[in-house]
Amino acid sequence: MKKLTAVLLAAALLILPAQAAGSAPTPQAASAVLMEKETGTILYEHHSHDKLEPASVTKIMTLLLTMEAVDSGQLKLEDTVTVSARAASMGGSQVYLKEGEQMSVNDMLKAVAVASGNDASVALAEHLAGSEEAFVERMNQRSAELGMNDTCFVNCTGLPAAGHLTSAHDIALMSRELILNHPDIRTYTTIWMDTLRDGQFQLANTNKLIRFYEGATGLKTGFTSEAGYCMSATAERDGMELIAVVLKSPTRDERNESAKSLLSFGFANYTLMDVYPNQALPPIDVLLGEQSQVQPVLAQSSRILVDKSQVNQVTTQLRLCENVEAPVEQGQKLGEMAVLVDGQEQQVIPIVADRAVDRLTVPGIFSRLLRTLFMGS
């Protein structure tokens, strides 16, 4: 009987439909987006431009502006932030800052990224801009610069406020800006447990994927009764980092599982691959130049995002000029390399001169002419 049961179970598993690697995920959320960091390509979206409350996922912009100030030298991690009465009065998630308490920028960042401290967010905002209102103006200005057209911030915390709205698409944009250009944020977003106040206050990351999802790098969770359970989750595997945004999930577990399913779909189906010319780039003749040739090179490395099923269908085409007249500037365009996937052009990489070539002077022209005549004779 046991053998018969095992056989029937095995047969049932073969018959029952399973989610294929290539099938799209079905996140339990009102809105969702999956984006690849390096190219900014959207791999999946569901109601991605719906304007919704983001709760504490708002703090990604607070972290972005703070990291921009740190990386530009305007702010130092060792700088001391003094807590105002208003910052100390923030409810919700907090690290229980007291009015007049002083804490370093480094610890404030830790409090925001790990514990989602509303009090620490306001303290940082006031330290950077003088007031939360002025900081919010910067948040909205930066949002506009990033093309976050669905977004209007009213505060720096994500606490419920009329008109404080964004979208999964816009959250992906600001998440990408943060992790792409300020990778040191991982110092904070990958913390699982830590302390503040010389070990007197315990911190535990609100993002449980940091411990329970392979390659997780961040980024920020959020919850209010109005916003539901929200998250911007980031993870990296094999040199590719993905951003999964989930808004208004009904429960914490469904939010986490939805983010994981989006990330796993991306890792299962896509890859970043380096693309090179299919032949050595030949030197280009320089007319009337002090050197007769210049070497063309790719202006940038070429990494393209492709479906794993199309890796063997990636080809390149070179389009180079036959010659160029001096003077030639270093970096001057000499052609381009087209990258094709299954015959369809996906990307064009400029090909440029690797060095400058000056134009021959009149005496130089005569000197070259004489050399040519003598060599010919």
Spot the catalytic one: 31, 37, 48, 59.
Answer: 59
Q: What is the pLDDT of residue 371?
A: 67
Rounded CA gap, 207 and 215, in Å? 13
Q: Is the pLDDT of residue 375 over 90?
A: no
Q: Decide if 50 contacts 187 (C-beta within 8 A).
A: no
Q: Is the pLDDT of residue 334 over 90?
A: yes
Q: What is the pLDDT of residue 301?
A: 82
Give the phi and the psi of residue 200 in degrees, each rounded to 5.
-85, -20
Q: Decide if 234 contacts 214 (C-beta within 8 A).
A: no
**Catalytic residue at 367?**
no
User: 369: pLDDT confidence band, cut at 50, 70 and 90?
Assistant: low
Rounded CA gap, 63 and 277, in Å? 40
**Catalytic residue at 302?**
no
Spot the catalytic one: 31, 37, 48, 56.
Answer: 56
Q: Is the pLDDT of residue 36 over 80?
A: yes
Q: What is the pLDDT of residue 23?
A: 75
Q: What is the assigned CATH class of domain 25-270?
A: alpha beta
Spot the catalytic one: 116, 258, 261, 264.
Answer: 116
pTM: 0.86
Q: Which residues contact 288 (CB under 8 A, 6 or more apart)?
A: 325, 326, 359, 360, 365
CATH number of 284-376: 2.60.410.10
Q: What is the pLDDT of residues 45-55, one digit of tens each?
A: 999 999 999 99
Question: How far are the Cα atoms of 68, 234, 351 from residue 143, in angstroms, in the given order?
Answer: 14, 20, 33
Name the residue ranges covered by the structural domains of the chain.
25-270, 284-376
User: 4: pLDDT confidence band, cut at 50, 70 and 90?
Assistant: very low
**Catalytic residue at 116?**
yes
